[in-house]
Structure 1
């Protein structure tokens, strides 16, 4: 009733959590043992007192993590009922007996559906007509019984529609075991292929399966194998091995179904090999040899390959083409030139149309061009806080483009658009249950915050219309800012639980992503990485300056590389934030990047730099959150991780929290929650994951004295 009263009054009043903090002072926080270990690089020693945590098999490590979990339980015990309420509230907005929009592929309609009360999907299909009987491919609810974590992926049906390959991970280390199911008999075949990515592709003979193996220690995707149906996987033939440790490899089939394609990719460079899918016994042919800095991707259409590439310094990429039998770049001919103000992100090829996904001034654009007349037009979108992208479009010979649209206050819609008549049909709009959601109750806007160097940083905002900009509103500021990954403005049913309690939600489109084009990414990586952190801080200062909030009510959140961002900003400007949520944070940058036995490390050199080079070592050391923890005050903080995380090892956040406890000079709350059953993606199952969101939201709301 308290929150509702505030909303009805049109203004928000919040109390601090100081009184609750005082009540928790009698609970003793864990104190990690200090065992000094000297780490030396470039003849410069560093001392890591918590290096001993780098061993998940050590009972002492498990004991420490469990002590932190117990402390977290004690410190948040007063919010447990509230967490449950938030969970039920967020779950209550989701249609439990839901299903995807079916798509047709090779004579079958495929769909994914959920049943009420169940955590996992059911994958099924119907032959030729949606009125045909349903064939269950997989009921993941049954398959997941008895497992704390279960992930099924990589579903790949053979051309004759009789077999499906699939991958299963039961540990959350992203080490999938591939198996094959006979869709005629329902039998799962005995052969098991271990330590893979889970993905695979069938040749057109319906018996040869190509798949990607991972290195057992580093988990790098480094080998492509060929499996013949009915044979022992130990006899599988190695087709390609990526020996450069900075590259990963993968295999797939072209949309035309004519070519098998092996890709090799590092942060800066691409290389492909192709083989006629009708001759899987043949040899793959290099499409264009790798050249450092040359990125390209390929799509097949008729007698041409179309190439999306940055060739000739095309920073924002351009589209080129070449004959199928002359694929070297000396044969590439320009189709769409490079443009400074448009980022060319992707293409979809149809028999009569070319569809191009672009980004201009941060906004998604979908351009449609007729092959025969070259007539072009854009799909119309009418605001600045939306996300639109092409969806599943497996068929060539159709006039229908399927795309997905949502905005920060508009639920996701799946749309079929007739590219000839320009008519559209909304096949499905995401339902928000509970009867309380009305998009017109919320304001969305895009603002531009000035960075210290004069750059304007775009920020997408959503908040209730009755909020007044008086400096007293709580704001949750979110960002990622790495790998060129763009966090577009998107709709979230869970987020409504914050908005309806008076929070403003802000997505800061900082450098390191590609929101404003490829150069936006280049300006937030390697020796310019500091821009990512200062952009986030400058956005925070602008939100305070413009009276959206104040430092007493500003909160920050980020995960993985966004957790690195959190670690950096609390070292650089802790006074700006009342609370921070750092999920699976990459915070021990220098030590991790010096250890090439850790999964993903070598492939990260082009993102962060190679610390074996003194210049990059020194630069990383200047911002690495773990190395820069200082004797000063820090905000209230919740840090989360997973024991089996294969991307950011659990010991990074664990060591970071231990060092923060040792050095910080405040009495603010510091919590570490380790999911002992999960990895980088958190809990499996659509509802289990909401419990983690409820925990994070309860932490933030508790800081504002909101408990209902």
Structure 2
């Protein structure tokens, strides 16, 4: 019998460089891998991928099986629910065998019946649509290109011009083109290296767009007059503070261009009245007030108001009204009318307006919810009560999914761990008679189909709680098959993120069914650093409280190990980006608790990155992690948890670091260095691999089929390590 030998991993040369800060010296042997243009670097990365392919070759049948399950459960020929805008219904359809969407529209009708006119047309997937106009076929655009992604699209109010941005490398910088939809021709206007976000002025004469600086920080809002050279484009606003992020959008009523500048702790808004550009940008509240807020200018009973979602004396934020005549006065002298007061148990995420209602996004009991309040009397004692559409699941997510300002309905997205995405139109409730007698009604427009006989009753989603080391109760979402035996023999996966106040809200996943159907208990750990439990929850997991994020995740793992569901030797961990930093940290802290770790685009060399303000997004990270350049306490605290610096000679579990060569958010060099250092130090024998997509960005390769393959790869890696490769229940044929 021939003896087989294990594949040999590539060994990067060691080129020691020393980084010294605050009296601490750290020697880095692999910093040379940052030289992206060095042929030796590319050769090493290709060798890493070859090693990964060899080590995981035995998982290929499982990957193919999971990919097939995802594909067979997905209705490939499908379309989005049409959305009405300025006399047209806009929608995107997908076709079997094609990787990208086709963006289309059909003319809308006006009959005088408000709800009927806002009822989407019945368009059958795969059927020809009379009067359909294709705005952009992304499949045609992507043909022959290594990567394709849209970075925004916008249509003029008269429906004639369509602007869109596309990225063909994965670096999230887009080339913008403008199409005349009347004759299906491209204008000569082409704008290069544009960041996310495009908006036409209401009269269609100008296109507003954003540029990023060399560190990939959006900092400049520009205005392009159609038919003129881009060299003459006007800079409407430029933000020079490297720690501040800039964005823009039209106000809900399209009367103003609103520019938002901010970080995670305070912000500033300036707006331009498009009908009176001579007034220039008007300041709402200067950043020197240190208030974190969003501002929405609008007319209330003919008076210009600013709707403020802010944290002034309100850690969980509240809603106030500001009369624009007070702009320019010190905040201490201004009179703000309260619309929604502060509540320790309710986090206010944001607010917008329609012609008749205020629409609120709030979070209560970890769940994101939508409420509406009629505009008459807003901010006074006569203000109407908030109305919230009711749903019948405990763990769900609902959010506003876009609506026209004049519409009698708002479009809501709804999903849960067990319910595929739904689209509803919520008929805005009116105290006066109106809306064809359907006021307050919730109208189901679509539930995304799951093929192969999916039944929600075959699965269970439950809320559990883990106790952190400091006694804090950490919410968990536990998803499993309903027929799973609680006999302590099952496998489990714990997923987490825990940064930037981002909440891991309940959502349906076809791909996750492939894990559940192999008997895996899937746990979403809502750890500190996220936003699930309000602003305090975030603040208790950032800067010099960041270690709570990691210990919370380990507490979630311990809950699962003691739950009676799983064998404690059959638990894996999964997380991406900042959640990839989490993966690296828990692998260092408690390697013995995990059979495998998958770290997707992992931020594992965070200290090196944040110490260099010239690297993408580094300066913006100071509000999240602290500034280790100027603050010795922050430096030493970060040095105590960052994954790359804290690798130790222990038996690490099986680890896969998944990255992309052109990722601009978390550079490929971080996981590349991490994997080398892990192999160099680990006392264990489990393989540690780097999977790298050479033509992808932060989200990996482009196209839905490539996305499914990537998810199948990650899940097969986990299932193989957990010994959970066989199905325990039926799957679609």
Q: TM-score range by the shorter chain?
A: over 0.9
Q: Distance in 2 between matches of 1:90 and 1:349?
A: 39
Q: Which runs of 5+ in 1 are unaligned?
A: 1-21
Q: How far 1:116 moved relative to its partner? A: 1.5
Mapped pair 1:567 → 2:596: no
Say which of 671, 675, 694 aligns to 1:653: 671
Q: Distance in 2 between matches of 1:210 and 1:115?
A: 32
Provide the TM-score with structure 1 as the length reference. Answer: 0.94
Q: Distance in 1 between matches of 2:4 and 2:504?
A: 37
Q: Which runs of 5+ in 2 are unaligned?
A: 110-120, 122-128, 377-382, 430-438, 727-733
Which residue pairs with 2:200 in the alignment? 202
Alignment of 1:431-446 (within 5 A): 431-435=449-453, 437-446=454-463
Q: Distance in 2 between matches of 1:534 and 1:515?
A: 17
Which residue pairs with 2:239 in the alignment? 242
Which residue pairs with 2:220 in the alignment? 223
After TM superposition, the structure 1 stretch with the greater mean CA deviation from structure 2, 182-191 or 592-601, is 182-191
Q: How far 1:319 moved relative to its partner? A: 0.3
Q: Please give the per-residue CA displacement for 1:578-627, whole angstroms capped at 9, x wherever unaligned.
A: 11100000011111111111110001100001011111101110001000
Q: How far 1:331 moved relative to its partner? A: 4.1
Whether the 8 Å CA contact 2:604–2:642 is kept in 1: the answer is yes
Provide the TM-score with structure 2 as the length reference. Answer: 0.91
Whether the 8 Å CA contact 2:75–2:449 is kept in 1: the answer is yes
Whether the 8 Å CA contact 2:211–2:221 is kept in 1: the answer is yes
Q: How far 1:483 moved relative to its partner? A: 0.1
Whether the 8 Å CA contact 1:177–1:198 is kept in 2: the answer is no
Which residue pairs with 2:81 in the alignment? 101
Q: Distance in 1 between matches of 2:336 and 2:682?
A: 58
Alignment of 1:533-552 (within 5 A): 533-552=550-569
Say which of 172, 175, 181 aligns to 1:174: 172
Alignment of 1:559-598 (within 5 A): 559-598=576-615
Which residue pairs with 1:6 in the alignment? none
Say which of 382, 393, 401 aligns to 1:383: 393
1:310–1:300 distance in 2 versus 1, CA, 3 Å: closer
Alignment of 1:336-485 (within 5 A): 336-372=340-376, 374-398=384-408, 400-420=409-429, 421-435=439-453, 437-485=454-502
Which residue pairs with 1:326 in the alignment? 326
Q: Please give the per-residue CA displacement for 1:143-190, whole angstroms capped at 9, x wherever unaligned.
A: 000111101131111122211221111111111122211111211122
Q: How far 1:477 moved relative to its partner? A: 0.7
Say which of 57, 63, 66 aligns to 1:77: 57
Whether the 8 Å CA contact 1:593–1:601 is kept in 2: the answer is yes
SS at match of 2:461: strand
1:173–1:23 distance in 2 versus 1, CA, 3 Å: farther
Whether the 8 Å CA contact 2:466–2:474 is kept in 1: the answer is yes
1:132–1:23 distance in 2 versus 1, CA, 3 Å: farther
Q: Distance in 2 between matches of 1:508 and 1:597?
A: 33
Total equivalences in the alignment: 684
Q: How far 1:701 moved relative to its partner? A: 1.5
Which residue pairs with 1:623 in the alignment? 641
Which residue pairs with 2:690 in the alignment? 672
SS at match of 1:64: helix
CA RMSD of aligned residues (A): 1.7
SS at match of 1:190: strand
Which residue pairs with 2:153 in the alignment? 155
Q: How far 1:25 moved relative to its partner? A: 4.8
Which residue pairs with 1:688 in the alignment? 706
1:281–1:165 distance in 2 versus 1, CA, 3 Å: farther
1:281–1:84 distance in 2 versus 1, CA, 3 Å: farther
Whether the 8 Å CA contact 2:369–2:397 is kept in 1: the answer is no
SS at match of 1:633: coil
Q: Distance in 2 between matches of 1:96 and 1:119?
A: 9
Say which of 484, 488, 502 aligns to 2:505: 488
Q: Distance in 2 between matches of 1:98 and 1:245?
A: 43
Q: Distance in 2 between matches of 1:250 and 1:407?
A: 30
Q: How far 1:299 moved relative to its partner? A: 1.8
SS at match of 2:567: coil
Whether the 8 Å CA contact 2:253–2:354 is kept in 1: the answer is no
Q: How far 1:82 moved relative to its partner? A: 2.1
After TM superposition, the structure 1 stretch with the greater mean CA deviation from structure 2, 112-121 or 299-308, is 299-308
Mapped pair 1:273 → 2:258: no
Q: Distance in 2 between matches of 1:87 and 1:162?
A: 41
Mapped pair 1:637 → 2:634: no
Q: Distance in 2 between matches of 1:653 and 1:293?
A: 36
Whether the 8 Å CA contact 1:308–1:317 is kept in 2: the answer is no
Q: Distance in 2 between matches of 1:391 and 1:24?
A: 55
Q: How far 1:465 moved relative to its partner? A: 1.1
After TM superposition, the structure 1 stretch with the greater mean CA deviation from structure 2, 269-278 or 590-599, is 269-278
